[in-house]
Structure 1
């Protein structure tokens, strides 16, 4: 007699194979985009010279272009996309809402508000701006948790819906605050703030690579441990509790890891619109099921592709990556609104 596992394995194997093949294809695409970002631009860099420079050889002009400009930009784009992709997928899975993302529930605007406050009142830049943006994102998350009552017992659907609604309201309030603060800045400072709020990779350096890499080294293993609990949490609060899972603490831990991923990245690159929102649904469509690794790769592909388009396809005008991701994300949001119920799992 066939066991249940044997009866279901023919269905499981094609889905697993599809996920693996999709991940390999996405990884190859990602590698190709990194190569394109390093080689393509004004001026073009021959592949052999780029490889020699990366191997340690010093070539006047080429070494600066590759090692001090294009390669750190490509690596920051890759790491930022991974962080945004994972953060958005956590929110969408946890809140059972494909429209939930750090953009929608106020985390990114909170980080932006922290940065603008630093510019308006402390004339901060560089490292100080990074810390203010990070504190703004984390402070927004704490306020969300307190107002939405995520740590209090209650029906999962009600808590999730309340969290999203509170986040939307908080995002609107923070947006108004940012608009007011911009009127208090000098023209030059306001221009700098607006450029940062669009989201750009133009100031990428190896120091910023190190910040993002260190954050991901800590946060990705933490998320990997929590994903197992997230799968149990999806069975429902009562079932999860009966299995011994501390539901409120698990929710809060997942939210804080997702917020840290998003806020740290916003502090480095600015709020790249819709990357966190797009990555999870696209990965799910490609793999046929939710996939955190694939969402991370999709996020990196989106950011790299947006930066390549913005830097090379508009003649002498270079557009920040955030402009391109906004153009890509807006129609996808409208399409998703027409196809997916906002309370669907």
Structure 2
């Protein structure tokens, strides 16, 4: 009896420690996100005093500052914040649910599906930004539907869906290359700019759908965090615990894909954010299916920081997707080497 009491106290103590660590790290991530948001409002071709930036945000008419802060920097900052959060949180859902760090929207071809639709609209149909955004969302969702039907079997297989996703990505990337090669010179620049993933030209009217999607689907993902932790234990274990695995998996996938697709439609496919955010959050907080918020803020931090670096650290300005790709590619190589040594590949 005494041993049971000691064991129970030990479990409660460990749970409290993990909870305190989660709160501490998440608070630090939120603070760092706020600092980077402020930096994006402050820095630019012209550095305005802090009081001028604040007065402009409050609606006071200040020549020059009002346009720079409210029309350029604020939409850019909000777009980076919500797109980074979407990429980070949704990527973490995929990696946790499929129990594989390679199972993220970039590797599985979801962002490539969005990109094919967007490039087709840009180079063939010469569509407006609104049509490109809608087509991008439809392309991402369609890719997931096709992957789901191709991976169906008697039982769910993580390996099967990852292999199919990698194949889909290769095929879709080839389609993108074909569209660019066949497009006119006047369309190539726009397509490549979209494909690089950029916050340039962000507008409040275009980021509104992304904000709405994040506000709606983030609570859904948080509510389903317990079911996600059970899915992480495996198909049979989750079923024995009373989880309707197919239903929960479908809800999680649809919610995550919509967030990814709308974020991609807004900024283009920013490389490696959904790939990096989850593992970094797990390292900081500890492995848990409740790391959706930390992963989202890590994604936002990477996007905001990469955009600041791309804008001000070099002689020429680079899109955020180029900088995040520089960060992410070495990590992908490291991860593949580590998985190969453990016999996971």
Fold shared per TM-score above 0.5? yes
Aligned residues: 338
Pairwise CA distance, 1:108: 0.4
**What does 1:81-230 correspond to in 2, within 5 Å?**
81-149=84-152, 152-154=153-155, 156=156, 159-230=157-228
Q: Please, which of 22, 45, 62 is the counterpart of residue 42 of structure 1?
A: 45
Pairwise CA distance, 1:11: 2.3
* Residue 293, structure 1, aligned to residue 296, structure 2: no
Pairwise CA distance, 1:258: 1.3
* Residue 67, structure 1, aligned to residue 67, structure 2: no
8 Å Cα contact 1:112/1:197 also seen in 2: yes
Q: Following the alignment from structure 1 to structure 2, what is the Cα–Cα distance between the partners of residues 273 and 238?
A: 34
Q: Following the alignment from structure 1 to structure 2, what is the Cα–Cα distance between the partners of residues 202 and 172?
A: 28
2:273 corresponding residue in structure 1: 275
Which has the higher mean CA deviation after the structures are superposed, 169-178 or 180-189? Answer: 180-189
8 Å Cα contact 1:148/1:162 also seen in 2: yes
Pairwise CA distance, 1:343: 8.2
- Residue aligned with 1:97, SS: coil
**What does 1:243-258 correspond to in 2, within 5 Å?**
243-258=241-256
2:318 corresponding residue in structure 1: 319
Q: Following the alignment from structure 2 to structure 1, what is the Cα–Cα distance between the partners of residues 6 and 130?
A: 59
1:233 corresponding residue in structure 2: 231
TM-score by length of 1: 0.94
Pairwise CA distance, 1:18: 1.9
Q: Following the alignment from structure 2 to structure 1, what is the Cα–Cα distance between the partners of residues 103 and 286?
A: 19
Q: Following the alignment from structure 2 to structure 1, what is the Cα–Cα distance between the partners of residues 24 and 294?
A: 11
* Residue 19, structure 1, aligned to residue 18, structure 2: no
8 Å Cα contact 1:29/1:301 also seen in 2: yes
1:32 corresponding residue in structure 2: 35
8 Å Cα contact 2:222/2:292 also seen in 1: no
1:308 corresponding residue in structure 2: 308
TM-score by length of 2: 0.94
- Residue aligned with 1:277, SS: helix
8 Å Cα contact 2:104/2:275 also seen in 1: yes
Q: Following the alignment from structure 2 to structure 1, what is the Cα–Cα distance between the partners of residues 55 and 91?
A: 38
1:55 corresponding residue in structure 2: 58
8 Å Cα contact 1:96/1:343 also seen in 2: no
**What does 1:254-269 correspond to in 2, within 5 Å?**
254-269=252-267
Pairwise CA distance, 1:153: 4.0
8 Å Cα contact 1:153/1:248 also seen in 2: no
Q: Following the alignment from structure 1 to structure 2, what is the Cα–Cα distance between the partners of residues 93 and 234?
A: 6
Which has the higher mean CA deviation after the structures are superposed, 3-12 or 301-310? Answer: 3-12
Which has the higher mean CA deviation after the structures are superposed, 289-298 or 229-238? Answer: 229-238
Q: Over aligned residues, Cα RMSD in angstroms? A: 1.6
Pairwise CA distance, 1:45: 1.7
Relative distance call for 1:266 and 1:20 in structure 2 (3 A) is: same
**Which runs of 5 or more residues in structure 1 are unaligned?**
none
Which has the higher mean CA deviation after the structures are superposed, 115-124 or 302-311? Answer: 115-124
Q: Following the alignment from structure 1 to structure 2, what is the Cα–Cα distance between the partners of residues 41 and 333?
A: 32
